[in-house]
Structure 1
């Protein structure tokens, strides 16, 4: 809200030259093919909307789409996004099918399964990018603080990924505002009050008659240069006050004063006009026809003429628009409760029940003066429709309304539980706990009572730590046993996995859950899921050897049979972990790959983050560190998108030690310890010590490796990386000529190999036996044979390295050279630089000069360019790469053109030719 400048080539706003120049600069970049995002942040009335209008006016040659947050629509998922994308939906059919279906379902254009929020985000990014391919696109979002949560998250997600699409995103955001952190990290332009000179000029432009100098100075000082305040506050002053003195004490915040000014103005208007303004405020879609139908039912036409401008507050053109959001809130606040109910009733009657049933029932709920089961039931149906569109927050809002209107206490408790579950899924944890308390005060049946305990456990698991929610999850599982055995076992599974993540396999909660699993009801014929869960519980309570056969039977079932999406996301994480624990290399590879595929295909990014993490050590063990780095890059993108970046350092812990990168390993260890130890993940320490042991064994610093491995494997009942640390302990102790230090580790590994009975397990155990034996040749040869039958080529190369070292010390230089040369070649090609250097030094000791293998690195490629190059080389199309990395296909194409130029190639075929030598640099 500011006057236009006159006689200026800038044609901008009074006192906003620098802000207008900043917007002009961004527009110029967009027209030249660059993308950008900007948040205009400032208090109410400071002029953000005026600057956004200026941007639209200056956007000649660009296509403009815009939306605005509306406070009353904050719980209607995708409402703001639908408004922004509405003009572009004619291009919906050009999107890839999964994206098209997700967006159509989210907007209620089609029925379908609940779409992933991130698949919806990718669809909107693709839709905007396709529109910008024909003409630069300017996206204007006003009052972003009042966007519904789903729209705000989606638009922030997109704005952070703009690179080469010719798209400009500009947000207007009130400061301070709840939820404004969603846009955190985007470039900001702080909008402050006008300087004193401009503030005086603006004030003088709207005051008629004499303005006392002292009054003017007081107004300028009190408004702090806020343009809307300068325009609105003098309206409430009499001519005498303006001429002789301004001394109205008011301790309200400035936004409150401005809104009160609107309130005072509205109260002077005829009753019909006030009802019209209240109806316009209560119906934020801006539908002129709908508002006019409601106005007839409110008998507004008798004393109000609907013109293009209602008292300078409301404008009718293609849409109904308030002069300012504070005018909207004032129009609603002025009305008493009965008037508001009458307005909502009229809006409900004016809304088409077939075309917009959800908005109709929303108004009916606000028109209700007492409990009403019919409306509550309609709200419940609206919640089902909202959930099917992926609108979990909207579903929660509808269910919350249904709770308030439900007369029957039992039904109210059930609905309160459903609303609490929806609030939890929407991330509104405090609201979920409040509704859970409401449910708890109602008469719940046994099933709902158990589900309430489950919900409380899930909330604690999410908001505090994995370990804090375990007791409630365990309680819920026990109570569900007599009510729903399948759900009980799924709850035990979730509790067990949460406890393992926090404490490792030897934690006290893990033991308690395992005992409960085994003491629960036994089905007649055990499914693969039941075999897996029972096997893990047996392994924890009775030992590795006791549980291994049952776990292996379960794993065979996962490899052989089909899985539903829900079962895949629920059970494959545990199956992936256990395939690694049983050293079952083939199923470890196949099941981790299946989990990643299911999570990717469904867009379940929270599950995908864990799936990628489980996949990385498998790819490293297979000797494909480049693929592991590719997975890690994807994991980083998912972590950024989901806000769960605290898991990302785990990727580096799995990768960097093998590369011999001490600085990067140390950095990952520090980050992991800081992030996860604060969340109750007590097993983090052992995991980081395993990483240190791998690093130091590769670097030949065996005393440090031994100390770290000893710390990582100190608990004999622990599995996971603690078992892998036994391998490092044996190698370090053998090289320090302290075989007695490794005796217990060798026994434990040999026992595990006997129980698992896989080539991978036997190959590892045989290598460890060889390291502590005087006559080791046969052990090494059998280890090489066993590991050669698996995909786990990194361990095969390490066995050749150890065998070559033993042969050289035994004086068999010729045989040693053969093993060491193969080890050096393999380890170098894998990118295991530390171990490769160890092999090179051993070859030198045999009298063979070997240069360090030259791994071609293209320092000019950024990490993202290298990632895109690898995915393109794997045969993925640009849209598929974009979906994998959460960027548009146009950005993928832009990156590939830069990759081709930097590598001196012109096609994907040439790219595949250079990929084997392409190393992802740390830069």
Structure 2
């Protein structure tokens, strides 16, 4: 049986599968209108994959709101291979497929689990995943397919997706697309002739072969042929249908739709053909159209409830509408749609009721509830309650969009208006959390028009405030959110206050706004007698803005101590920043590492991205630049997988400390181009560090004073900016400009002394008063204190500033020792600007700095260095892959490149290099 035309497109699909068979996997999106031949093209490709495992799924309009419905079709037959997955991924997969506890797996964990499952399968033989009608598949499955498709470049996996006109909403716009146009004139005529002579089957243009599709019939005469060719527009399905069954003028009669598209006419024609079936067969076809999976057993059970003989389906098969095998398949999605809509609303309700009765409530309660929802015309609390329970299950399994769909339909069927409002409110909340604030706002508006319980009314105000807050982060939205929180229970209110205030801290530019907001929150949420960690954190953040530093430090210390042992990863990044402000390097390291560990273990990937970025800041200020870069690289992997845009502040700070002015400029420009991404605090701090390193002290002072001005107007500033401002003020001969910074450094060292904080205060005193008789002892004491901390960058800088002071005092020999030590420390840490400053000072003493050999890590990319660090620490390829959202085979490919660059051949040698 020949395949008509499409040889170029068929070649593209065969190229994809050939490459995947050789370990160079990929994905392709086949796009075209209904009936254009997408399924036929894919079937022709798959027919040649004899040694492959082919997994298939078809999207249906009925199931587009059921969580992971298409994923069930795709992977149910291979789930036994899940035992080889890491525990977290295995549990997530079992939850989605109803095989384990009702957990709430993150969509990213599910994507990793499916990627891992396909990887395990591909070790046995190549795998081809085929998903047709992707415009109808559920949101969860779309996310998984997109995630997998972008991570199989080193796998024996091919993903072929097929759908109608591409839409950004589907999430596949970045994948390669193969567009199918209409057939050319010669191919269209050939198809018509072949169909007329019975030499072509429907397998050449649609979903499978049927009896009718191979039956010869009279070839249309010349005038009719030309009309068919013109009206079909090269659509293969239209050519066959128009050629097989024509109206009085040689074409299907469009009835009262004179401007109908080809697809509309086709659907109408299939509907007419369904209506022409014998009565029992007609009802059976509608029943089959309402059952989206093609489960013949379920269709038979439902038919019995309607007192229909399932054998009547053979009439529809003879007519070429369906094919019967292990599953029931419609010849084309338009056949299903036409058959379903050919029935009266009452008939559709009856078949859905029968399908609901025939569906096992234990094994498939959600699909049963969905059928019941389509079987009623009036309000029905029993069905509404069942849908609400399905929403709960969907939410626990990570299907927020599905949960909202269940709740919306539940609300429509709820007879009591007050309860209806509550369910609409819950649907709005699910829509907001699933990333659809506009839809959430519309549902919320509908809910607010109905009577509400007082608690629901307060919750509605909060939801509206949250929607506005997440959309704009504006001053008005923040104030509204704070007002809305006043009506909440105390614990929930304080967490809402914390979210609003913390967000305002880091984007605030308006004079006095943050201080006014803090005062209002303190009035509405006084300190608790038995505070939780989150309460201590809120109190400490408020103190940082509302009271002098000396008074704020004790509250900050209590909050930091509480979060060292916290079990919840939320808000830990703020506690880590607070520890950095306090110069408590041990707590900063403990909290940042703990948050990364907890977020990764729980699959809380939005939190994980923030945790990795704050972990990078903590590593940066301690001088552990490689570790910081690794954390940022991993954060990028998380953001790319989740589809979010990360903050650039952490990268700016790292670039500033490294003295990389070019990279700093790129990051700053990129940050300024982002709408709503105002990271002025990080930018000002990073600028002072960079300019001090480059000896551009006036520019450093300008940035420091700009930050100080923000603080004087009631905003928050990063406390470590004080020491940078002190150095810039000292170098420019303006010590008075650093008076406020010196006062805070003194208060921090006095009230909350750590080796780092005391040393920083001593260095500030020495810089601002270089003529004091205590200057030498202050430098020495500070260096001694820093030598016993992990703050190695500050240790190197202390020796640098001491060496600079010694040289200016004429003590050249002593200066050389300090400057050489500083140069070695700063060079080893990768602080190129500060190291260059030390080198210039050393040369001024008459000595050139000693040079070490090239670091082998310079040959590696940032991602390769990250992989090296994880492998050297003992992680397996699977573990590294899971943490970076890649496939194990991709990690192995990276390792081969790393071995080649470093001239080694094994993991053991990699560990021995101690990179």
Q: Same fold (TM over 0.5)?
A: yes
> 1:59 Cα deviation (Å)?
1.1
What's the CA shift string for 1:394-437, capped at 9, x where partnerless?
22222222111111122222222222212222223233222222
Partner residue, 2:202:
none
Partner residue, 1:921:
none
Partner residue, 2:623:
623
Give the distance between the partners of 1:716 and 1:465, measured in 2 at CA. Answer: 20
Aligned-partner SS, 1:141: strand
Counterpart of 1:223 (choices 222, 227, 232) is 232
Partner residue, 1:727:
723
Matched-pair contact (CA < 8 Å) for 2:589–2:618: yes
After superposition, residues 658-807 of structure 1 pair within 5 angstroms as 658-675=657-674, 678-679=675-676, 681-682=677-678, 684-717=679-712, 722-773=718-769, 774-775=771-772, 776-807=775-806
After superposition, residues 491-890 of structure 1 pair within 5 angstroms as 491-503=496-508, 508-509=513-514, 511-520=516-525, 522-559=527-564, 561=565, 563-564=566-567, 568-647=568-647, 649-675=648-674, 678-679=675-676, 681-682=677-678, 684-717=679-712, 722-773=718-769, 774-775=771-772, 776-857=775-856, 861-890=860-889
Q: Verify: 1:437 aligned to 2:410, yes or no.
A: no
Matched-pair contact (CA < 8 Å) for 1:105–1:111: yes
Partner residue, 2:356:
348
Q: Which moved more, 1:203-212 or 1:182-191?
A: 203-212
Query: TM-score by structure 2 length?
Result: 0.92
Matched-pair contact (CA < 8 Å) for 1:572–1:591: yes
Partner residue, 1:8:
none
Partner residue, 1:10:
none
Give the distance between the partners of 2:257 and 2:380, measured in 1 at CA. Answer: 45
> 1:112 Cα deviation (Å)?
3.5
The change in CA–CA distance for 1:463 and 1:145 in structure 2 (over 3 A counts) is: farther
Q: Verify: 1:98 aligned to 2:88, yes or no.
A: yes
Q: Verify: 1:192 aligned to 2:181, yes or no.
A: yes
Which ranges in structure 1 are unaligned for 5 or more consecutive residues?
6-12, 917-923
Give the distance between the partners of 2:666 and 2:192, measured in 1 at CA. Answer: 57
After superposition, residues 181-260 of structure 1 pair within 5 angstroms as 182-207=171-196, 208-209=217-218, 211-213=220-222, 215-235=224-244, 237-238=246-247, 240-241=249-250, 250-260=258-268
Matched-pair contact (CA < 8 Å) for 2:710–2:716: no
The change in CA–CA distance for 1:876 and 1:447 in structure 2 (over 3 A counts) is: same
> 1:663 Cα deviation (Å)?
1.6
After superposition, residues 57-68 of structure 1 pair within 5 angstroms as 57-68=47-58
Aligned-partner SS, 2:756: helix
Query: TM-score by structure 1 length?
Result: 0.92
Partner residue, 1:130:
120
Matched-pair contact (CA < 8 Å) for 1:456–1:472: no
Partner residue, 2:406:
398
Give the distance between the partners of 2:553 and 2:343, measured in 1 at CA. Answer: 70
Give the distance between the partners of 1:459 and 1:446, measured in 2 at CA. Answer: 20
Partner residue, 2:45:
55
Q: CA RMSD in A?
A: 2.6
Q: Which moved more, 1:700-709 or 1:187-196?
A: 700-709
Counterpart of 2:155 (choices 131, 151, 165) is 165
Give the distance between the partners of 1:335 and 1:18, measured in 2 at CA. Answer: 40
Give the distance between the partners of 1:661 and 1:33, measured in 2 at CA. Answer: 38
Matched-pair contact (CA < 8 Å) for 2:427–2:440: yes
Give the distance between the partners of 1:72 and 1:892, measured in 2 at CA. Answer: 39
Which ranges in structure 2 are unaligned for 5 or more consecutive residues?
197-216
The change in CA–CA distance for 1:144 and 1:507 in structure 2 (over 3 A counts) is: farther
The change in CA–CA distance for 1:163 and 1:210 in structure 2 (over 3 A counts) is: closer
> 1:837 Cα deviation (Å)?
1.4
Give the distance between the partners of 1:641 and 1:495, measured in 2 at CA. Answer: 27
The change in CA–CA distance for 1:511 and 1:873 in structure 2 (over 3 A counts) is: farther
What's the CA shift string for 1:233-268, capped at 9, x where partnerless?
34452365369x999983233332332232232232
After superposition, residues 8-87 of structure 1 pair within 5 angstroms as 13-87=3-77
Q: Which moved more, 1:840-849 or 1:755-764?
A: 755-764
Give the distance between the partners of 1:738 and 1:513, measured in 2 at CA. Answer: 33
The change in CA–CA distance for 1:741 and 1:234 in structure 2 (over 3 A counts) is: same
Give the distance between the partners of 1:749 and 1:726, measured in 2 at CA. Answer: 7
Partner residue, 1:450:
458
Give the distance between the partners of 2:65 and 2:96, measured in 1 at CA. Answer: 14
The change in CA–CA distance for 1:209 and 1:242 in structure 2 (over 3 A counts) is: farther
Q: Verify: 1:327 aligned to 2:332, yes or no.
A: no
Aligned-partner SS, 2:250: helix
Give the distance between the partners of 1:302 and 1:324, measured in 2 at CA. Answer: 21
The change in CA–CA distance for 1:283 and 1:640 in structure 2 (over 3 A counts) is: same
Give the distance between the partners of 1:504 and 1:756, measured in 2 at CA. Answer: 29
> 1:584 Cα deviation (Å)?
2.3
Q: Which moved more, 1:513-522 or 1:16-25?
A: 513-522
Matched-pair contact (CA < 8 Å) for 1:750–1:765: yes
The change in CA–CA distance for 1:506 and 1:23 in structure 2 (over 3 A counts) is: same
Partner residue, 1:489:
494
Matched-pair contact (CA < 8 Å) for 1:529–1:571: yes
Give the distance between the partners of 1:707 and 1:499, measured in 2 at CA. Answer: 24
Matched-pair contact (CA < 8 Å) for 2:280–2:312: yes
> 1:307 Cα deviation (Å)?
6.0
The change in CA–CA distance for 1:247 and 1:79 in structure 2 (over 3 A counts) is: closer
Matched-pair contact (CA < 8 Å) for 1:470–1:499: yes
The change in CA–CA distance for 1:580 and 1:420 in structure 2 (over 3 A counts) is: same
Partner residue, 1:383:
391
Matched-pair contact (CA < 8 Å) for 1:466–1:501: no
Matched-pair contact (CA < 8 Å) for 1:780–1:803: yes
Matched-pair contact (CA < 8 Å) for 2:711–2:717: no
Matched-pair contact (CA < 8 Å) for 1:499–1:510: no
What's the CA shift string for 1:78-107, capped at 9, x where partnerless?
111121111211111121111111110111
Counterpart of 1:472 (choices 476, 480, 488) is 480
Give the distance between the partners of 1:69 and 1:339, measured in 2 at CA. Answer: 23
The change in CA–CA distance for 1:761 and 1:216 in structure 2 (over 3 A counts) is: farther
Matched-pair contact (CA < 8 Å) for 2:518–2:545: no
Aligned-partner SS, 2:594: helix
Give the distance between the partners of 1:408 and 1:862, measured in 2 at CA. Answer: 61
Q: Which moved more, 1:717-726 or 1:325-334?
A: 717-726
Aligned-partner SS, 1:192: coil
